[in-house]
């Protein structure tokens, strides 16, 4: 593992960028969000693309920018409107952060008031990658934003044995590259190289414009990079979902803006230490843990819940697994007790 931020530069021969950009001109992808230098549109796009496949995100980006075409429109909106557009994408904290950051930024005078990357990085939800992407792709300055795809390409190109999860080390190395490596076109080319050629498995090295100077290929071991640290198994967390419903409605609460499913609607959740002695009603893989849930019938509506008519559920922002659960329950709602019965069977 390297110790200095100049190690990558020492392995450059000088014509890599020219070869890379020539390849990009003929083989690169044409993506609509690359045709703008508007920092607001770039910021929204990069945020929506996080943890989301391009095909899934593309239509949502269009819808989001149609609904909130400017920073002012987003800042002056209600967070519920943002969550409505976001529904189904998961990682809802991104939506809350985007909304809060838009409000802060608009109050300060917009992107023109920002003095540099450090200012961008102080906004809620704007990390090292997003800050550099906004800065570079909008033409404000030179920066090479490092995401997982660029970790793969650059770790192979430089045969860098830094573990892939040490993203800050990769970013430090990228920040020390010559400025001609930190142009937005270079970042776009490297991203496309990662998707089309330098793939995680069976990279197409013979099609790579950088094959003559790729250190991992010279070692005969491109797939050895990036170095992967052993993954720890996800912990399992158990929850009770307090359940009250009848043939007309189900009682839900709006969750706090921070934390699990922030701002969305669901039956009240109570975390428990151990699994219950019954089959779970809900199982879902989240980023950092596996959620297992059990419906617990109640004889009265839980505190802070509101009745939502079954046919109106589509108007509310629900986490995907809760929507799936309620859809299943809605199919059998005619068999539920009538409203005057207080005890509700699951």
> What pLDDT, in 10s, does the model give residues 168-208?
999 999 999 999 999 999 999 999 999 999 999 999 999 99
115 and 197 share one domain: no
Q: Is residue 30 part of a domain?
A: no
- CB of 8 within 8 A of CB of 154? yes
For residue 92, name the pLDDT band (cuts at 50, 70, 90): confident
Question: Within 10 A of 33 (CB to CB), how many other CB atoms are there?
Answer: 20
pLDDT in tens, 71-82: 999 999 999 999
Q: Is residue 26 part of a domain?
A: no
Q: Which domain holds residue 96?
A: 38-138
Instruction: Give catalytic residues, as residue numbers.
Output: 46
Across the range 336-344, mean pLDDT stands at 38
pLDDT of residue 212 exceeding 90: yes
Domain count along the chain: 3
Across the range 223-232, mean pLDDT stands at 91
Per DSSP, the three-state class of 240 is strand
Mean pLDDT, the chain, rounded, equals 91
Q: Is residue 1 part of a domain?
A: no
pTM: 0.79
Give Cβ neighbours of residue 323 (< 8 Å, ≥ 6 apart): 313
- CB of 111 within 8 A of CB of 141? no
CA gap 180, 341 in Å, rounded: 72
Question: Within 10 A of 154 (CB to CB), how many other CB atoms are there?
Answer: 24
**What dihedral do alpha carbons 113, 117, 121, 125 form, nearest 10°?**
90
153 and 15 share one domain: yes
173 and 305 share one domain: no
Per DSSP, the three-state class of 193 is helix
Please choose, from the candidates 58, 69, 44, the residue with its C-alpha nearest in 3D space to the C-alpha of residue 125: 44
Helix axes 39-49 and 128-137, enclosed angle (nearest 10) = 140
Q: Is residue 65 part of a domain?
A: yes
């Amino acid at each position: 593992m390297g110790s200095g931020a100049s190690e990558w530069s020492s392995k450059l021969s000088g014509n890599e960028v020219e070869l890379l950009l020539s390849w990009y001109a003929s083989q690169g992808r044409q993506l609509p969000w690359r045709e703008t230098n508007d920092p607001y549109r770039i910021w929204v796009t990069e945020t929506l693309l996080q943890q989301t496949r391009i095909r899934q995100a593309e239509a949502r980006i269009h819808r989001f920018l149609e609904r909130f075409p400017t920073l002012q429109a987003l800042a002056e909106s209600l967070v519920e409107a943002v969550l409505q557009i976001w529904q189904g994408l998961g990682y809802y904290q991104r939506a809350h952060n985007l909304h809060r950051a838009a409000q802060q930024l608009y109050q300060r005078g917009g992107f023109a008031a920002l003095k540099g990357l450090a200012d961008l990085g102080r906004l809620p939800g704007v990390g090292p990658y997003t800050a550099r992407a906004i800065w570079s792709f909008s033409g404000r300055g030179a920066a090479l934003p490092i995401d997982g795809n660029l970790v793969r390409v650059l770790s192979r190109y430089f045969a860098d044995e830094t573990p892939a999860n040490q993203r800050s080390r990769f970013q430090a190395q990228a920040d020390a590259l010559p400025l001609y490596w930190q142009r937005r076109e270079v970042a776009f080319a490297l991203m496309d190289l990662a998707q089309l050629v330098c793939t995680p498995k069976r990279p197409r090295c013979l099609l790579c414009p950088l094959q003559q100077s790729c250190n991992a290929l010279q070692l005969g071991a491109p797939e050895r990079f990036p170095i992967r640290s052993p993954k720890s198994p996800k912990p399992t967390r158990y929850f009770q979902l307090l359940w009250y419903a009848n043939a007309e409605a189900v009682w839900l609460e709006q969750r706090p803006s921070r934390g699990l499913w922030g701002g969305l609607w669901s039956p009240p959740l109570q975390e428990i230490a151990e699994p219950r002695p019954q089959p779970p009603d809900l199982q879902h893989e989240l980023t950092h843990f596996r959620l297992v849930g059990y419906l617990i019938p109640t004889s009265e509506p839980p505190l802070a819940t509101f009745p939502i008519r079954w046919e109106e559920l589509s108007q509310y922002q629900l986490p995907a697994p809760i929507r799936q659960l309620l859809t299943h329950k809605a199919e059998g709602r005619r068999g539920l007790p009538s409203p005057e019965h207080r005890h509700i069977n699951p």
